[in-house]
């Protein structure tokens, strides 16, 4: 959850509560979903690398590197990526599974092919 000094309203809030909250904008929900996936993937990597000589980078390093790449995309690319993250967030964090039941494959961010397909889908429904 968030630090209580930021807002106690969302302390330990589950994904479904955040997704259904009308006070949180869709872009903010996409950012929160993205962070949730990245932190979960980093935790899975820490578990995988435990007991080995492999050092797992901190999740902020992974996020910075990933966002540096994604921020070069067009506005349409970023919108498609965010839309896919929100859709996946609703599917993966449905309130039925805990983090220990979500695999790296389930939590993987959208691939370039998926983003391109989403951009084409979105272009098809726009006037």
pLDDT tens track for 30-74: 999 999 999 999 999 999 999 999 999 999 999 999 999 888 999
Within 1-127, strands assigned E span: none
Domain count, the chain: 1
Q: How far apart are CA 41 and CA 59, in angstroms?
A: 9
Q: Is the pLDDT of residue 19 over 90?
A: no
Nearest to 44 by CA among 105, 93, 89, 3: 105
The verdict on residue 9 lying in a domain is no
User: What percent of the chain clears pLDDT 90, i.e. is strictly above it?
Assistant: 64
The verdict on residue 7 lying in a domain is no
Q: Is the Cβ–Cβ distance between 68 and 88 less than 8 Å?
A: no
The verdict on residue 2 lying in a domain is no
Residue span of the structural domain in which 87 resides = 14-125
Give the confidence band of 120 by pLDDT, cuts at 50, 70, 90. very high
pTM of full prediction above 0.85: no
Nearest to 80 by CA among 38, 122, 32, 126: 122
Cα 70 versus chain centre, distance: 13
The residue behind tokens 């098809």 is 124
The verdict on residue 73 lying in a domain is yes
| Terminal CA-CA length for the chain | 40
Give the confidence band of 126 by pLDDT, cuts at 50, 70, 90. low
The verdict on residue 5 lying in a domain is no
The verdict on residue 1 lying in a domain is no
Secondary-structure percent of the chain, ordered helix, strand, coil, rounded to 5: 65, 0, 35
The verdict on residue 94 lying in a domain is yes
Nearest to 2 by CA among 35, 45, 38: 35
SS3 10: helix
Average pLDDT of the residues in 80-107: 92
């Amino acid at each position: 959850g968030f630090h209580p000094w930021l807002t106690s309203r969302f302390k330990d809030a589950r994904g479904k509560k955040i997704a259904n909250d009308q006070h949180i904008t869709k872009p903010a929900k996409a950012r929160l979903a993205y962070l949730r996936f990245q932190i979960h993937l980093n935790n899975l990597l820490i578990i995988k690398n435990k007991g080995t000589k492999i050092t797992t980078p901190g999740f902020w390093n992974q996020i910075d590197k990933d966002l540096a790449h994604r921020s070069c995309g067009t506005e349409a690319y970023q919108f498609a990526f965010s839309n896919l993250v929100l859709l996946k967030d609703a599917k993966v964090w449905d309130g039925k599974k805990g983090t220990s039941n979500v695999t790296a494959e389930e939590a993987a961010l959208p691939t370039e092919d998926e983003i391109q397909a989403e951009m084409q889908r979105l272009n098809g429904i726009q006037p």
